[in-house]
């Protein structure tokens, strides 16, 4: 009996662990997409996402959206499925960005941009007044990193927002109400376990 020969190929590296998210509604309703299992990456739960898009449903079609700290891209992908005009995704995790680009290609979405960058650096580099402001912004930063106040201040100071922009914020409940620009008016807010999620509208008439 001939002896078994050893393969010259190196053993294949194991595939990285991944999770799965589901698009709730719109043109991609029910589609399931992968995202990498990275520390701190926690896609917005289906129930919370459904509540959020019930709040903003009238404003999504044709809107220009920004998904900051995008992670899995669950919020921006849901917006695209529901008719958003465009979505800009920002995240600094290379593996998450690679999977997000793969998902967008799978969905044949040509109205999205994905940037690999720390959110604060991307905001700070933005030239004030360069292009129209975003109509809808999703802010879901990593917990316990104290990034919200600076992100909100940069969104205002770099003139990244449309005059009546809607801003969705997800944060740890223990944080309480984060420090926000004075012209952001609260519209809705709910708490689910350790997460508080809120919707604000930018209102220039309240600025001093």
pLDDT of residue 167: 98
Structure letter (DSSP) for residue 102:
H
CATH numbers and ranges of domains, the chain: 18-206 (3.40.50.150)
pLDDT of residue 146: 83
Longest C-alpha distance within the chain, in Å?
89
Structure letter (DSSP) for residue 2:
P
Mean pLDDT by 10 residues, the chain (208 residues): 40 54 94 76 81 96 96 94 97 91 94 95 82 92 85 94 95 79 95 89 72
Where are the strands (E) in the chain, listed by range? Answer: 18-22, 32-36, 64-68, 86-91, 112-116, 134-139, 161-172, 184-192, 195-202
- Which of 106, 104, 123, 124 is closest to 114 using CA atoms? 104
pLDDT of residue 11: 41
Residue whose pair of structure tokens reads 């793969």 in the numeric block: 102
């Amino acid at each position: 009996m001939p002896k078994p020969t050893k393969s010259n190929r190196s053993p294949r590296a194991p595939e990285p662990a991944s999770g799965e998210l589901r698009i709730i509604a719109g043109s991609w309703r029910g589609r399931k997409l992968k995202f990498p299992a990275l520390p701190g990456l926690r896609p917005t739960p289906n129930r919370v996402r459904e509540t959020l898009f019930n709040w903003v449903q009238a404003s999504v079609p044709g809107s220009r959206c920004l998904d900051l700290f995008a992670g899995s891209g669950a919020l921006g992908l849901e917006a695209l499925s529901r008719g958003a005009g465009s979505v800009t995704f920002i995240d600094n995790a290379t593996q998450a960005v690679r999977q997000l680009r793969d998902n967008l290609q799978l969905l044949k979405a040509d109205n999205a941009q994905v940037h690999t960058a720390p959110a604060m650096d991307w905001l700070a580099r933005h030239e004030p007044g360069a292009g129209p402001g975003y109509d809808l912004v999703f802010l879901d930063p990593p917990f316990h990193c104290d990034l919200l106040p600076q992100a909100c201040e940069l969104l205002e100071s770099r003139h990244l927002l449309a005059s009546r922009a809607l801003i969705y914020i997800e944060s740890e409940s223990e944080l309480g109400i984060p420090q926000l620009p004075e012209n952001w008016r609260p519209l809705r807010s709910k708490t689910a376990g350790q997460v508080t999620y809120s919707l604000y509208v930018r209102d220039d008439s309240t600025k001093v």
